[in-house]
Every structure is written in structure tokens, then in C-alpha cells.
């Protein structure tokens, strides 16, 4: 049985755990000779509308826990992280830029997503405005004006809509979320379990 499909990695830039997982997933996939297919999700659509939940950091008790948790996970992993303290972060434009770039050059889109994650979760700068996406993409050789036009085009808007719908159709309800060879995994905590699955392709101990 040939199973060399890439690991589907569902991400939203506004999620601190999405950022943390983005620093780990490629190493897990590479141990199994697999690539990673980054796919955008809008937490505002899946979490809040479909599931009827509040944003995590605004949930009583859990919010305080998670605020303390993300930095300690980052420290344990040895990756830079800080809470940005910004309000009303919105990733729609940035993820539109991502799908537009991915349609042209997957590697470029991936480098863009990583820069945007670092912008928000390492440097603490906003990612909401089109200018933010344009500034990061420009560092990768993308023409800023072309990107600014692209993110307002109906075709690109529609492409992001379809990507999010496709994720929800597959049962994706949070970020980070991974799908590998038919199994779904929610949360960066599940990377060891994803690793186990890629090794054994069954759950029962032999």
C-alpha cells in the first residue's frame, strides 16, 4: 500500500497553538518521508458559528489557563513566542493572500504563512490589514500592489471560502488540525499520536 500523500495541516494565523504546531509539523512529517499541505481555516467560521462557542481566550477559567499555557509550551519546545496583546485580529485578508500565493507556488505560500505567524506571535505585529500581508510577501519577492489587488478579487475571496468549506466538510473544527491517511488529529498535543499513526497505521498494540 503506497501512502505518500502529504499530511494535511489546517491552520489559522490567529491561533497561538496553530503557530506552535507550525514550528513542529514539518519535522514530524519528514520523519516519515512525508510532506505537509498547509490548508487555511477561519476559526471565526468554524469555532464560533458552527460550534456555537466563544473564542477560547474569552472563555472563563479556560482563557486564563491557555494564556499561561502557550508561552510554557513554546519555552519547552524552544521556539520564540509572545502574547501580542492586540485586539480584533482578523486573518481573512492574510489567508486570502495565502490561497492566492498557494495557487501560484506552494513553497512561496508556505514561507509567507510562516512569516505571518512570526509577525504576529514572535514580533507582536498586527496581521489584519492588507498592508501587513503585502509587507511580508514583498520580503519574499512578491509585488505588493499585485497582492493588494488580489486579496479583494472575487475569485480569491471565493477560493478561501471554498477552502474553509472543504475543511469543515472534513470535520475540521479547531486549529491546529491534522489529517493523515484517513485519521484526524486536533491539537498540537496530538503530534506524538500523529507520529504513532504514521508509524503503525493502527491503534491496537500488537
Give the interface size with a second copy as a residue count (CB under 8 A): 36
Per the document, the length of the chain is 206
- Asked if 162 contacts 150 with a C-beta cutoff of 8 angstroms, the reply is no
- Of the candidates 5, 165, 181, 189, which one interacts with a second copy according to CB under 8 A? 189
CA dihedral 136, 19, 90, 110 (to 10 degrees): 40
Q: Backbone phi, then psi, for 151, in 5-degree steps?
A: -70, -10
Grid cell at residue 120: 504576529
Binding mask 25-64 for a second copy (x = CB under 8 A): ---------------------x---xxxxx----xxxx-x
In the bound state with a second copy, the residue whose beta carbon lies nearer, of 41 and 134, is 41
For residue 89, give the nearest of 121, 136, 134, 135 by alpha carbon.
Answer: 121
Q: Residue 171 interacts with a second copy (CB under 8 A)?
A: yes
Q: Which range touches a second copy (CB under 8 A), out of 4-12, 99-107, 141-149, 182-190?
A: 182-190
Give residues with Cβ within 8 angstroms of 126, minimum separation 6. 84, 86, 89, 120, 132
Q: Residue 86 interacts with a second copy (CB under 8 A)?
A: no
Sign of the four-CA dihedral 170, 200, 176, 156: negative
- Asked if 41 contacts 177 with a C-beta cutoff of 8 angstroms, the reply is yes
In the bound state with a second copy, the residue whose beta carbon lies nearer, of 87 and 205, is 205
- Of the candidates 108, 122, 148, 193, which one interacts with a second copy according to CB under 8 A? 193
In the complex, the smallest distance separating the C-beta of residue 110 from a second copy, rounded to whole angstroms, is 26
Q: Residue 67 interacts with a second copy (CB under 8 A)?
A: no
In the bound state with a second copy, the residue whose beta carbon lies nearer, of 2 and 206, is 206
Residues that bind a second copy (CB under 8 A): 46, 50-54, 59-62, 64-65, 68, 71-73, 75-76, 78, 168, 171-174, 183-184, 186-187, 189-190, 192-193, 196, 203-205
Amino acid at each position: 500500500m503506497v501512502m505518500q500523500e502529504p499530511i494535511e495541516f489546517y491552520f489559522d494565523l490567529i491561533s497561538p497553538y496553530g503557530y506552535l504546531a507550525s514550528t513542529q509539523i514539518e519535522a514530524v512529517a519528514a520523519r516519515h518521508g512525508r510532506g505537509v499541505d498547509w490548508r487555511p481555516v477561519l476559526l471565526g467560521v468554524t469555532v464560533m458559528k458552527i460550534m456555537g462557542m466563544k473564542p477560547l481566550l474569552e472563555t472563563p477559567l479556560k482563557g486564563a489557563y491557555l494564556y499561561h499555557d502557550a508561552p510554557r509550551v513554546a519555552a519547552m519546545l524552544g521556539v520564540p513566542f509572545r502574547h501580542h496583546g492586540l485586539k480584533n485580529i482578523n486573518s481573512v485578508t492574510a489567508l486570502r493572500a495565502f490561497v492566492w500565493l498557494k495557487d501560484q507556488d506552494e513553497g512561496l505560500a508556505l514561507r509567507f504563512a510562516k512569516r505571518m505567524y512570526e509577525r504576529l506571535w514572535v514580533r507582536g505585529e498586527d496581521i489584519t490589514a492588507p498592508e501587513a500581508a503585502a509587507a511580508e510577501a514583498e520580503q519574499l519577492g512578491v509585488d505588493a500592489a499585485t497582492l493588494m489587488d488580489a486579496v479583494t478579487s472575487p475569485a480569491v475571496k471565493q477560493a478561501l471560502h471554498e477552502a474553509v468549506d472543504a475543511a469543515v466538510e472534513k470535520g475540521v473544527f479547531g486549529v491546529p488540525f491534522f489529517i493523515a491517511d484517513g485519521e484526524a488529529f486536533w491539537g498540537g498535543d496530538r503530534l506524538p499520536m500523529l507520529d504513532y499513526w504514521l508509524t503503525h497505521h493502527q491503534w491496537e498494540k500488537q
